[in-house]
Amino acid sequence: MIKAAVFDLDHTLFDRYETIKILVPQLRKHFDLGEGITDEYFIQELTYADKHFVHKGWQGIYNHLVSKGIFKTIPTFSEYTEIVLRHFRHIAVKYDFAEPTLRKLKAMGIKVGLITNGTEELQYKKLGMLGLTDCFDEIIVSGQTPYEKPDEKIFLMMADKMGLNPDEMLYIGDHPRNDVEGSRNAGFVAVWVKTTGTWIFPEIEKPELQVETVEEIPDLIEKINNR
């Protein structure tokens, strides 16, 4: 019996690709872009890089943008990340279905939680911009703890906070290692949400449960619980 649904934030409830469309015109003000680089081309390449490299860190995204001639004057990796993170503190777009889905789960009697890696300041700022802060029974931001995903201890902290066994809880996220493997090792029922569409860890077994978006989670829980 599934009694709780615990979510990742980025690429799960937070729409990075719509956010990128807003982000790029702001980045143009800070970077010296290559000749003829349009916002549309920058958005296209940043979105591609995010889909294919984000699960292994931002270095791959940066390397891709450099290889595509996005920058006339190439910033250092630290300069690039500092500027992008600065803007992520002020821009966030949620999926339209995110809040209704979370509230539907609570109406079903399902506890709702969030485990996200990152700093307390940045992740709570995102939640505030997305209007999702009060949608959760429990929130754990890795920056508030000694652990971060995929360490199973951070998932077990959530199980303890909710007073549930891990096998009574879904964990829903996009990252094969941090979300799927990490939660599965902790005994959760892992669900891969395929927002990036890429699985770049062949050594990690894909979970049985997969969804296109979190909008499918209430029906998924009903099917599991009615077996």
Q: What tens digit of pLDDT does each residue of 40-83 get?
A: 999 999 999 999 999 999 999 999 999 999 999 999 999 999 99
| Residues in CB range of 12: below 8 A, 6 or more apart | 172, 173, 174, 179, 193, 195, 214
Q: Assess whether 101 and 138 both reside in one domain.
A: yes
The pLDDT value recorded for residue 41 is: 98
Q: Assess whether 106 and 210 both reside in one domain.
A: yes
Q: Assess whether 110 and 211 both reside in one domain.
A: yes
Please report, for the domain that includes residue 122, its CATH number. Answer: 3.40.50.1000
pLDDT band at 89 (very low <50, low <70, confident <90, very high): confident
Q: Assess whether 8 and 22 both reside in one domain.
A: no
Q: Assess whether 127 and 146 both reside in one domain.
A: yes
Q: Assess whether 152 and 165 both reside in one domain.
A: yes
The pLDDT value recorded for residue 227 is: 82
pLDDT tens digits, one per residue of 193-227 = 999 988 999 999 999 999 999 999 999 999 999 98
Q: Assess whether 140 and 210 both reside in one domain.
A: yes
Indicate yes or no: pTM above 0.85.
yes
Which residue among 88, 120, 142 closes a domain? 88
Domain containing residue 72: 16-88
